[in-house]
Amino acid sequence: MKKSILMLLFSALLLFLIPMHTHAASNQTKIILDGQELSLPDDVEVVNVRNNIMIPIRVVAENLKFNVKWDQETQNVNIQQGSNALQLTVGKEQAKVQNNTVKLNIAPQMIKNTVVVPIRFVSEEMGLRVGWSNKDKIVTLTSSTSLPSTPANGSDEITNLVHDINYANNQLVVSLDHEVTPIITTLKNPERIILDFPSTNFGNMGQVPSGGAIGKLDTSDFPNVTEVRYSLFKNDPAQVRIVIELNNVNSVNYTPQTIAGKFILDLSMVNDPAPPTPVNSGKKIVVIDPGHGGSDPGTISFTKKPEKHFALALGLKVQALLEKEPDIELIMTRETDIYPTRSERVKLANDLKADVFVSIHGNSVTSAPQVSGTETFYYQRESSKELANIIHKKLIKALGFKDRGVKNGNYQVIRETTMSAVLLEIGFLSNKLEEEAMMSETNQNKAAQAIVDGIKEYLKL
């Protein structure tokens, strides 16, 4: 008798456990490097941190046969390949590439004893092309060196030589001794075009950057170009990288062509629209920023809806209320499903000399769907903290979600804006019940009213 009860209990447990386990396994993200799936250690995974796909740097670097060293005390990861050196620090948004400091989208984090970094960093600084399928949860990495077939004996390899790099009239001209087609990648924030020339070294040209040094062209005559830099990105096989960094450019198209041994890249840039003239009506200027939009879905909710839709729906409700306020001049960073970059949102608010900036988001932690609640972020300034406290209190009262508090957060839109600025994480879209609540019209109206009341109280209107 006793035995059969145990058996019954055991089978009941099995019934409960098996489907859960299968579910977890099918959600596992894969990393494919040059066509081969990387075997990730059991406790290592690809994570989405505030809409940044983060991948474990060690796994990638080791598979590329880079030398990886971890320093527990300084929390530094040092990655070495040939003469190239990268240094990342957990929690720091800056990394060192050779002796240059580069800014990351989001700081590397330590998750389950593994340092994870945003895939953007991997693509730009490790010379990999990155693809991300949100549907299939697959990260595809392609190392440019895998494209041309590399002979086993390095000495047989053809190395192309760059003899001159020139930039003028929206045209980059690279003179080479052989025809080479570079791999071209573009990155945003700021807008950059990256050209990687495989099996290419510097030939007889004016300023050859030796070792890991970076050469720069004089681009002072071209206001749309911040700089054009070039370096020997990899040794053995050699790879030359040229980066064109643009300034105040909304979007850029390029046409590559090869003419008489010269590689030419024609750029056509769409400039930022002129900033709207600051209003001088004595009214307070409020900028409402529905997060994400267009090509940037933000996080994906429990029922697979993009955060951008939630942010816009709530933003438009705030807009409707604020437009009725006689003492407020309201500017929206977006009113439709488009993607202004974060820098553009910041610039808009700063150019307007706005009094208040409110960015609207939905939170997510897919690995822990039970997490819920409202969080409000400010960045350092006391005035922002005060605004955050007022709006947060009203949101908690209006929605009744768990109070996760007002926090100092290092986000570009609240860090680089110069007025009182807050970023609202209304609730967790990854939480089943909270998503349901956040999607309801009634709750969105309540949240909108709370935000408006908070802004008015802060502005003493």
Q: Which spans of this chain sit near Zn ion (rule: CB under 5 A)?
A: 291, 298, 361
* 443: amino acid identity, one letter: N
| Of 237 and 409, CB closest to Zn ion | 409
Closest approach of Zn ion to the CB of residue 222, in Å: 34
| Of 180 and 358, CB closest to Zn ion | 358
| Of 354 and 424, CB closest to Zn ion | 424
375's tokens: 């969080």
Closest approach of Zn ion to the CB of residue 291, in Å: 4
389's tokens: 């406290």
Closest approach of Zn ion to the CB of residue 364, in Å: 8
Nearest to 379 by CA among 417, 428, 350: 417
| Of 298 and 373, CB closest to Zn ion | 298
Closest approach of Zn ion to the CB of residue 311, in Å: 7
Closest approach of Zn ion to the CB of residue 304, in Å: 16
Whole-angstrom Cα distance, residue 195 to residue 186?
A: 9
| DSSP secondary structure code for residue 304 in this structure | S
Buried b (16+ CB within 10 A) or exposed e, 75-92: ebbebebbebbbbbbbee
| Of 198 and 340, CB closest to Zn ion | 340
Closest approach of Zn ion to the CB of residue 383, in Å: 23
Closest approach of Zn ion to the CB of residue 296, in Å: 9
Whole-angstrom Cα distance, residue 160 to residue 146?
A: 16
| Of 296 and 403, CB closest to Zn ion | 296
Closest approach of Zn ion to the CB of residue 103, in Å: 19
Work out whether the CA dihedral 141, 147, 153, 158 comes out positive or negative. negative
In contact, 340 and 275? CB cutoff 8 Å: no
Structural Rg of the chain based on CA atoms: 25
| Of 45 and 289, CB closest to Zn ion | 289
| Of 298 and 340, CB closest to Zn ion | 298
In contact, 350 and 417? CB cutoff 8 Å: yes
Total residue length of the chain? 461
Q: Where are the beta strands (DSSP E) in 209-316?
A: 214-216, 225-234, 239-246, 249-259, 262-271, 284-290
Closest approach of Zn ion to the CB of residue 298, in Å: 4
Using DSSP's 3-state secondary structure scheme, residue 300 falls into strand
Contacts of residues 178-183 at CB distance under 8 Å and 24 or more positions apart, as own/partner, are: 178/261, 179/258, 179/261, 179/263, 180/263, 181/256, 181/258, 181/263, 182/242, 182/256, 182/263, 183/129, 183/144, 183/147
| Of 342 and 385, CB closest to Zn ion | 342
Q: Report phi then psi at 37, rounded to 5.
A: -70, 130
Closest approach of Zn ion to the CB of residue 50, in Å: 6
Closest approach of Zn ion to the CB of residue 248, in Å: 25
Whole-angstrom Cα distance, residue 408 to residue 393?
A: 16
Whole-angstrom Cα distance, residue 221 to residue 169?
A: 10
| Of 45 and 425, CB closest to Zn ion | 425
Helix 441-458, helix 307-322: angle, nearest 10: 50
Alpha helices in 57-167 (DSSP H): 57-63, 119-125
Cβ-proximal residue to Zn ion, closest one:
361
| Of 342 and 361, CB closest to Zn ion | 361
